[in-house]
Every structure is written in C-alpha cells, then in structure tokens.
Chain A
Amino acid sequence: MLSSSSLTQQEVRRAQKAGAMAAVLKQIRTTRVRAPEAVVELGRAALSSRRLGDEVWNVREQTLIAALDVDDIPLAKACESAILDRFGDTGARASRLKGLTQEARGDLEEAAQTYATMLESNGANAAALKREICLAKMQGDVASYVEKLKAYLERFQSDRSAWQALAETYVSSGNLPYAIFCYEELTLFEPTAAHYHCRLGELHYTDAGGLAGPKRLDALLKARKYFAHCVELATSHAAQAKSARAPTGLLLTCSAVGEIKPDDELNVALSALAAAHLKSIYKSHAAPSDLVAKAIAPFVANHTPPFR
C-alpha cells in the first residue's frame, strides 16, 4: 500500500502534467490512502479541467472529504453545494457529506439533526452511527461516547477500528480489564499482528501495578508471555526487529516478577535475553549510538538479575 508520504509534490505535479489526475485520484480512492494534501491539489485541478465525465461526482466527493481533512472550507463548500444541487440531500451518501461539512463549520447540532434523519430512513446506516459517535467524542461527552460506541459494537461486531477506539478510551480512563478485553478481540481479528500482543502485554503489566498477591503475579506472568511472544514474532520480521518496545516491556516485567520470585530460572533467562536484545537494538541505531547505548545502560542494569 502507498503511504501518504510516498505521494511527493513531484509526483503530484507530474500527474497534473500528464493529465492523469483522474487515474491517480482513483488509485488513491481504491487503495484508501489518506493523502489529503495531494487529493486537494489534484482534485482542484481535475475539477477545473472539466473533462471527467461521470467520474466527476466521485472526484467531488473525494475532494470534499480531503478538503475537510486539510481545513479548506471554501473548496469543501463548493464541492458540497455542487453535489447537493445535483443529488439533493435525501440520499445516504449525499447527506453524510452534508453532515460532514456541517461538522466542519462547527454546526454540531445541525449535523446531529442530519444524522438523525439519516438513521430514521435506515436504522442500520453504519456511516451515520459512526458520525454520531464521533460527534459525542467531539463534544467531550465521554459517557455518551462510550455508550454509543458499545451500542454500535453490539450491532457491528466486525468493526475493528471501533474495538480499538473503545479499547483506547478505556485505557485513557484507566479501565484496564475492559481495555484488555477489547484488545483480545482485536487479536482474534489478526492473531499474527505483533503490536496487539505487545499492547496486551503493556496493559497486563500496567494492570498488575494496581493489584496485589497472586493476582499481581498472574497478571505479570501473562504480560511476560505476551511480551515474549511479541519479541519472538519481531525477530522473524526484519521491519519490527528494531522496535525496542517489546524487549523493554519484557525487561520491566521480568524485573517485577523477580521481586516476587527472585530464583525463578526462566525469569532470569528471559530478563538476560531482553537486556541483550535491547542493547543490540540500540547499538544498531545509526547516529548517536554511543549516547543512546550509554543512556539506557543504567536502566538495563537496574532491571537485570540478580533481583535481590
């Protein structure tokens, strides 16, 4: 997949010259890259060239959303009024765009009204439901935001981003077991994704901080398993092998377990391994390698065995 940074200014200009703007825009649309600056530039040029045929409405919609993304209100307004003139504001697609522009203008109540009418005609309109959730978040109403998100998830249990949004909300409100539940759902979507396992390890480790006795040890051991799994996954992926997140987590967890069970052989072995990983990762970093390696040395020394 293209990343937004790969669409450089140069490429944008070349596309304008070649008259291939529509094709590039379509490519962006189908691969769902988020590159609002490029889309605004290309879309403005493409719309003024008037050679798009039926494609013009798709381009208008795309440009409208990108314009909202970069806060180019006049352009968004122009696209919106063109679309609404042509299609009216009764259809689901057009009224979503209308709601989006209202939101961008700051007319949150009007936007809410728009979404409500959308939901009246089709109660299962996922787009409208999502916008309502976003409105609640925008207004800072956390309780209603969580309620709405939960209600939405009850109907659309396959929406990954909703699970993640809910999880992060629970994290920020300190409701860690709930967040862990959400992340466990996310691992079921993609069991090989190392970052979900890493996050679960972090959450269990953080959760252990508020617990005591056998529950604390239990949480720590779970965290250690997740981190170990993540380190193992990362070693087989060259791109992730440089991430210090999982080894750091493993080191800290082992250190915390070591306070409870100082003689556990596995714990000692894992801790040594995490420290070695961490050192090698920081050594392989390019420029200020010495500085970084020196800076983390006391941290590593603090958390390696012996734990007494």
Chain B
Amino acid sequence: MITDAPLLLDPAIRDWVVLPMVAIMVLMGLCRHYAQQLLKSNQSLDPDEVRHKQTLMRCSRLRNRGQFLPASSFHARKAYFLTKETGILRQKVSKSGLNPMANPLGMIDHVKGNMLYMLPNMVMMGIISYFFQGFVLVKVPFPLTNRFKVMLQRGVDLATLDVSYVSSLSWYFLVMFGLRGFFKILLGEDSDALDEARATQMQMGMGVGMGGGGGMFDAPAAYKHEREELEMAHHNWVLEDSELKLVGPTVAARISAERMGTLASSRSASASKKAPRVKKIRKKAKAP
C-alpha cells in the first residue's frame, strides 16, 4: 500500500542536519586538499626506472610499427634489443622499483595518499550513520523509479517510502561525489596539471601498461615479456608496394606479372644450387 500523503520534513532537519552536513563536507574537502599539499614529498622519479620504461616503450614501438622500416633497419634494431648476452633486453636489470618494501619512501607516500582519502571518509561515514541513522533529509522534486531506492535510501529500509526521499547516508554520498566540481572552482584547476616539468616527467614515465604505476614497476618481468613479444614479431615492409600502389592497378598488375615471370625463371635456375644448402642446414640441426 502506498500512501499519497506527503511526508512532512521538519525545517529543523534542514537547518540542523542538511546544511551542516554540506558545510562539514566542504570544510573537510578543503582540509584534505591542504593536508595533501603539506604531506606531498617532492620525490623525483627513479632515473633507472624512467630509462627502463622508455626502453620498453621504444621496443613496443618497434614491435607495433616496425613494418614502416626497411627489413635491414628492422632486423638491426631487433638484434640490438635481442642479441644473446649483449642485447638491451637481455641485460640484467635490478629490481629496485619492484619491491615496495625495499623502497620505504615510496611506500610511505602511497600510504599517506590512501590514508588521506580513506580515513576522513570512514570517520565521517561512521559519524553520520551513528547520529543520523534512519533520517530522511531531503525530497528530490521529481519522481523516480524503484531502482533508485538502493542509491537514495541507504540505511532506511522502508518498502513503502516514496523513492524521491533521500536518506542521510545517501545524502552524504551524493554530496561527496557532487562536490568535486565545486572544489575545482574553489581551489582552481589542479595546479599540478599545469606544472610543465612534472607533466613531462609523468608523460615520460607512463605508457607501459604492465607492472602497474608508481612504485610497482617490475623491470625484469616487463623486459622478459617484451623480449618474448619482440621475438615473435614479424616484419613486412609496408612501403614495399608503395610504388605499385602509386602507379595504379593496371600498370601494377602488368609489372608484377612480369616480375613473377622473371622470379620463376630465376628460381628454377637456382633450385639445383639451393638443394645441397638445405641438406647442410639439416645436418647442422642434427649435430648438437
């Protein structure tokens, strides 16, 4: 049974609960912002890690777009990365960034960041569900379907309550997520985003998806992965038929037919020459 009679919300709720909650959350957001600025240690990126990441990026560029290089250039680069013992990807890399325990500073930074987000939220949620449990604070001025009940009436389990009423805990969440834009206006755009030096450093460090971000970069594993991927890479020069494409299909067909003809004749001529070489290779393969 759904009663049509609207629920009357006491104006005192507005004055003593809704507005104070918004004010508290704004203040909390400001506090968090400044606390973060205070606690931020301007620790620079590990130079070795930057180098490893960029090597990996260059390697994946070669793997993905290597078709744009002539065969000799591609294979030279592949050899540079993969030659046994001297190849760049075969070098022993230290695990400096791997173990967060080995890098306590990085870990502290991580924990600090998390704490600043988690702790106030947990405390606030506790306070609100302790003081205002079961409160209905606000009524949104439009009707909503039943599905919004979970979102808007957390902590109030009334099947018959109209969905447009918002419970205290849900109001908390709505304000928490809704204030982001407000802070952007209040505190200005995130100044870090405009800090040129930082931005470039970020950009240089990023791009390698594996191993996660920050201190969790695992150089040896990433190297191994990239090594295996690059070993599999095929090469096919894209520009090989650029000329044929340019001259148009009719001329191209004639020229390639001609080429095939000359190739076929030369192949039959060299077939007898090639046979012993194949045998030799087979012998070699058996030897060890």
**Interface, chain A (partner B; CB < 8 A):** 26, 29-30, 54-55, 58, 92-93, 96, 122-127, 154-159, 181, 184-185, 187-189, 191, 197, 222, 224-226, 228-229, 231-232, 265-266, 269-270, 273
Contacts of B66 in A (CB 8 A): 188
Bound-complex Cα distance A96 to B191 (A): 19
Min CB distance A257 to B, Å, is 11
Contact A30 B201 (CB under 8 A): no
Closest Cβ neighbor of B47 among chain A residues: A124
SS of B interface (majority): helix
Residue in A184, A187, A232 whose CB lies within 8 Å of B245 = A232
Most buried by A among B45, B242, B251: B242
Can you list 12 residue pairs at the A/B interface with Cβ under 8 Å?
A54-B191, A93-B195, A93-B197, A124-B50, A155-B54, A156-B51, A158-B58, A222-B70, A229-B238, A229-B242, A265-B254, A269-B251
Min CB distance A25 to B, Å, is 11
Contact A122 B44 (CB under 8 A): yes
Contact B251 A188 (CB under 8 A): no
How many of chain B's residues have a CB under 8 angstroms from any CB in A?
Answer: 40
Bound-complex Cα distance A93 to B194 (A): 13
Most buried by A among B45, B243, B244, B247: B243
The 5 lowest CB-CB distance pairs between A and B, nearest first, are A124-B47, A229-B242, A228-B243, A157-B54, A191-B68
Bound-complex Cα distance A54 to B190 (A): 12
Contact A188 B68 (CB under 8 A): yes
Considering only residues 27-85 of chain B, those with a C-beta below 8 Å from chain A are 44-47, 50-51, 54-55, 57-58, 61-62, 65-66, 68-70, 73
| Count of CB-CB pairs between chains A and B under 8 Å | 100
Min CB distance A46 to B, Å, is 16
The yes or no answer to B266 lying at the interface (CB within 8 A) is no
Contact A158 B54 (CB under 8 A): yes
The yes or no answer to B288 lying at the interface (CB within 8 A) is no
Contact A269 B247 (CB under 8 A): yes
Q: A226-B239, A232-B245 are in contact. Are A126 and B51 (CB under 8 A)?
A: no
The yes or no answer to B145 lying at the interface (CB within 8 A) is no
Bound-complex Cα distance A10 to B95 (A): 57
Contact A158 B57 (CB under 8 A): yes
Contact A156 B204 (CB under 8 A): yes
Min CB distance B223 to A, Å, is 14
Contact B246 A228 (CB under 8 A): yes
Bound-complex Cα distance A155 to B47 (A): 8
Contact A155 B51 (CB under 8 A): yes
Q: A127-B197, A188-B62, A265-B258 are in contact. Are A270 and B68 (CB under 8 A)?
A: no
Bound-complex Cα distance A226 to B254 (A): 22
Min CB distance A291 to B, Å, is 29
Contacts of B62 in A (CB 8 A): 188
The yes or no answer to B200 lying at the interface (CB within 8 A) is yes
Residue in A30, A54, A269, A270 whose CB lies within 8 Å of B188 = A54
Contact B65 A191 (CB under 8 A): yes
Residue in A124, A159, A226 whose CB lies within 8 Å of B44 = A124
Bound-complex Cα distance A122 to B134 (A): 55
Contacts of A228 in B (CB 8 A): 239, 242-243, 245-246
Contact B243 A225 (CB under 8 A): yes
